[in-house]
Amino acid sequence: MYAKFTQLKAEVIFTIQVLRRYWFSNLVGFFVDLVYFYAIFVAVRSLVPGENLPGTPSLILMYTVLQLTLGFYTSFYRFLRNDALQGTLEHLALARGGLLSQLFVRLAVQGAYIILQSLLVLLILVALTKVTLEITPWWPLGVGVVLLAAVGISLLMGALGLYFKEIDSVFTLIQFILIPYFLSFIQWQPYMAYLPFAPGAHLVRLGLTGGDFDRGIFLLALFQGLFLFAAGLLAMVYMYRMVRRWGILGRF
């Protein structure tokens, strides 16, 4: 337990040092996130003339959920690729607890930063668009199931990265698909409850706009999250064993 706490502390120190060293890149990336939303907002506004754009709170919340998902689903692959390029991936695999344990500790720290960044984006967008959010006590449940599904997808992408090594083009393709996919949830339809990420994103919107808690939607979102997490974990464990057996774990 003490060893894990020490590692967690080390990851926090390392993350802070990286943020301090590359503050300009992070600042520009944060600005790009705001510009992306402005471009989407202008595009939607051009389709809906008038001073008041209906569904603006939903648009902001779906965009925030999108940013949160994108931040998490690339995490495991980025961890693996960065360590492989630095020549430390095999050392990480030999550390106490094994590779997966080390990656989850790192995700805990990086995930906290991603959540804080997404929250800051949300607050700025709310201030700029002058919309009002009605926060309910149960809103963390929606965020939790979204994160569970995002971590599952991240594990699947990490498993692909272990074998194929370079899958940046896959991430670019998925990102372009996810943008209109998440924005389509603004106009909620009952059939969307069965789509990946849809029930969790809908719960976030309800939880931050004063909506009532929908138990059925929550159970669907929880099932999706658990299924994706289990599938991702199994894929990562299987691929990790395979690349170690073939001797190609750190061969980039």
Residue spans per domain, the chain: 2-246
Pick the range with the lowest mean pLDDT from 16-30, 93-107, 140-154.
93-107
Report field, pTM of the whole predicted structure over 0.85: yes
In this model, does residue 50 exceed pLDDT 80?
no
Mean pLDDT within 78-92? 84
Average pLDDT of the residues of the chain: 86
In this model, does residue 250 exceed pLDDT 70?
no
The string of DSSP codes covering 145-162 is HHHHHHHHHHHHHHHHHH
Residue 97 to residue 101: CA distance in whole angstroms: 5
In angstroms and rounded to an integer, the radius of gyration of the C-alpha atoms of the chain is 19
Q: Please tell me the predicted confidence (pLDDT) of residue 51.
A: 47
pLDDT in tens, 173-229: 888 888 888 888 888 888 888 888 999 999 999 999 888 898 999 999 999 999 999
Where does residue 179 rank: exposed (0-12), middle (13-18), buried (19+ CB within 10 A)? middle
In this model, does residue 252 exceed pLDDT 80?
no
Residue 79 to residue 114: CA distance in whole angstroms: 14
Bridge partners (DSSP) of residue 134 are: 209
Residue 125 to residue 228: CA distance in whole angstroms: 30
Residue 97 to residue 118: CA distance in whole angstroms: 30
> Which of 235-249 are b and which e, b meaning 16 or more Cβ less than 10 Å from the residue's Cβ?
bbeebbeebeeeeeb
Residue 173 to residue 123: CA distance in whole angstroms: 28
Token digits for 110?
A: 């990086």
Phi/psi zone of residue 50: left (φ > 0), alpha (ψ -120 to 50 degrees), beta? left
∠ CA 72-125-116 to the nearest 5 degrees? 35
Residue 45 to residue 138: CA distance in whole angstroms: 31
∠ CA 14-252-70 to the nearest 5 degrees? 55
Mean pLDDT within 235-240? 93
Mean pLDDT within 8-13? 86
